[in-house]
Amino acid sequence: MDYLDLKQQLLDKIKANGGWVNAHAHFDRAFTITKENFHLGAIDFQKKWALNQKIITESTTEQIYDRMALATERMIEQGVYAVGTFIDVNPGVKDRSIKAAEKIREKYKGDIIIKYINQTLQGVIEKQAHEWFEVGADFVDIIGGLPSKDAGHESEHLDIILAAAKKRNKMIHVHVDQLNDPTEHETELLTDKTIEHGMQGKVVAIHSISVAAQPKEYRTALYKKMKAAGVMVVANPTAYIDDGRKEIMVPSHNSATPVDEMVPEGIIVALGTDNIADLHKPFTDGDMWIELRVLLEACRFQDVNELVKIATVNGRKVLGIE
């Protein structure tokens, strides 16, 4: 009997289908973990946002460029065809990530397709934050969002970024339902807002993990609505598989984007590394195979052809390449 080497089979098929697509990352803050800050990894999620903001705010354009270059080269080494990376644009870092991003695109233009997306770590509502959001929106290929940074005003946050994307005829990537917590309903809100703004087929939900913590009836109805609105999803498997223990009762599941349910419902799901070697994910090294492996294990999703699509063509779709 011949042993079926499934890893090799997947890698071969991924190559034959155009190569990996890393559909979600934050290259400008990759490799910011140091001997001095590693111990801060234990603090909570929201506090890490503030620390990350401090690191980025204190970075020079050259430091940001070096980090982005290292991350980009790590992608090229693995045969990544295209990457979608967020870059911070806000009153702290101002346009330094934009300047670094321009140089990166020029340097690697023959080697990899890079789509930039603006991270809104200070929200989009406060006056100065909004001004920098508009600067970022003009520069990037895809408009980015993080509604939980405008907590209590998530709808307004989505209205602002959807209108900005529509005005510029750009797609939109939004961090939603990240905490594996049933009190979050951001994917649903994003889907409703997609329909309200007439942005069907142009909206991508990043994470949507908390959907897995909802009752089956809710999930099924949401998938139908997402499919109808053409809302796509990016799963970043290692980014939140380490969700901490909680004393809440939810349907049993792993802390992962429920690809095993979304794909059969016809929802386009792509794959991303998210944070690489920073305060959020000090051990993540940007290895695409590890991300795909964790995704298939976390959801027990073993459909080889669909896994290949998740790693390749679906990534091109969420980045607007095809």
Region from 133-141, 187-195, 266-274, 289-297 binding Zn ion, contact rule CB under 5 A: 266-274
What are residue 269's phi and psi, to 5 degrees? -120, 130
Q: Is 245 in contact with 180 (CB distance < 8 Å)?
A: no
Q: What angle do CA 58, 64, 67 make, to 5 degrees?
A: 125
By C-beta, is 195 or 290 nearer to Zn ion? 290
Q: C-beta of 296: minimal distance to Zn ion in Å?
A: 21
Q: Which is nearer to Zn ion, 11 or 174 (CB)?
A: 174
Confirm if 322 and 17 have CB atoms less than 8 A apart.
no
Instruction: Give the number of other CB atoms < 10 A from CB of residue 246.
Output: 12
What are the structure tokens assigned to 227, written together?
């499919």
# of chain residues touching Zn ion (CB under 5 A) = 1
Name the segment binding Zn ion (CB under 5 A); options: 28-36, 109-117, 127-135, 271-279. 271-279
Interaction pattern, residues 274-293, with Zn ion; x per rule: CB under 5 A: x-------------------
Stretch that binds Zn ion, among 28-36, 109-117, 155-163, 273-281 (CB under 5 A): 273-281
Contacts of 130 (CB under 8 A, 6+ apart): 124, 160
Shorter beta-carbon distance to Zn ion: residue 65 or 240:
240
Pick 154 or 274: Cβ nearer Zn ion: 274
Q: How far is the CB of 86 from Zn ion (least distance, A)?
A: 6
How far apart (Å, rounded) are the C-alpha atoms in residues 194 and 173? 12
C-alpha pair distances (Å), 14 with each of 60, 173, 319: 37, 24, 17
Residue nearest to Zn ion (CB): 274
Where does this chain bind Zn ion (CB under 5 A)? 274
